[in-house]
């Protein structure tokens, strides 16, 4: 069974991302085809990228990077919950991605966006970034508009019609996460089973 992390991609005070991610996580917990876990970037206290060596070398000097690397390495796939800031994702999420290298390789990712335009441009930017890290991104996505899915642009109240897109997102991320376990040699799943 694949393990999928739901990453809250904003650390800003007053962010909407925590409510969106919690809503996604609650729906994920109703499924029995994968293990889902909520990951809050705010819990890691990552500074602006401060490692001296490139992430591709995998030689992390700082404890915060090592902790982040261990967390990402545990998962087979991810759902990134991203705001759209100035037609892209948040700096905090981009920085968190850039901290690591091989921990992302040959894993799957899906996206949940939110913002004035549903976060679609942030999602497209993330697809480009993650492709360089050998992450297979799925086509299904869930997008939430600040004007129609939030009361007063702050209280998350998604419309019912989002249900099918969220289900498709889960289905695709789970399928690709499972398939990529084999690409990585199946070792991650075997290690988890033995633990």
Q: What are the beta bridge partners of residue 141?
A: 111
Question: pLDDT tens string for the chain (195 positions)?
Answer: 999 999 999 999 999 999 999 999 999 999 999 999 999 999 999 999 999 999 999 999 999 999 999 999 999 999 999 999 999 999 999 999 999 999 999 999 999 999 999 999 999 999 999 999 999 999 999 999 999 999 999 999 999 999 999 999 999 999 999 999 999 997 544 555 554
In CATH, what number is assigned to the domain containing residue 138? 3.40.50.360
The Cα-based distances of 175 to 46, 112, 139, 182 in angstroms read 31, 17, 12, 12
Residue pair 2/37 in contact by the 8 Å Cβ criterion: no
- Both tokens of residue 159? 């419309």
Query: Residue 8 belongs to what domain range?
Result: 2-194
What's the number of domains the chain is made of?
A: 1
């Amino acid at each position: 069974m694949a393990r999928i992390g739901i990453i809250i991609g904003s650390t800003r005070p007053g962010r909407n991302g925590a409510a969106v991610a919690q809503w996604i996580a609650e729906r994920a917990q109703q499924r029995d085809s994968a293990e889902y876990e909520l990951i809050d970037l705010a819990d890691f206290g990552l500074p602006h990228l401060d490692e001296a060596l490139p992430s591709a070398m995998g030689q992390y000097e700082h404890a915060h990077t090592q902790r982040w690397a261990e967390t990402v390495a545990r998962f087979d796939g991810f759902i990134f919950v991203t705001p759209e800031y100035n037609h892209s994702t948040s700096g905090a999420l981009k920085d968190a991605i850039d901290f690591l290298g091989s921990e992302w390789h040959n894993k799957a990712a899906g996206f949940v966006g939110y913002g004035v335009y549903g976060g679609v441009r942030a999602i497209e930017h993330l697809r480009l970034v993650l492709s360089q890290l050998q992450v297979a991104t799925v086509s299904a996505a869930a997008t939430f508009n600040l004007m129609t899915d939030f009361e007063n642009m702050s209280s998350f109240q998604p419309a019912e019609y989002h249900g099918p897109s969220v289900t498709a997102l889960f289905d695709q991320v789970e399928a690709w996460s499972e398939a990529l376990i084999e690409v990585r040699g199946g070792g991650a799943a075997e290690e988890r089973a033995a633990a």
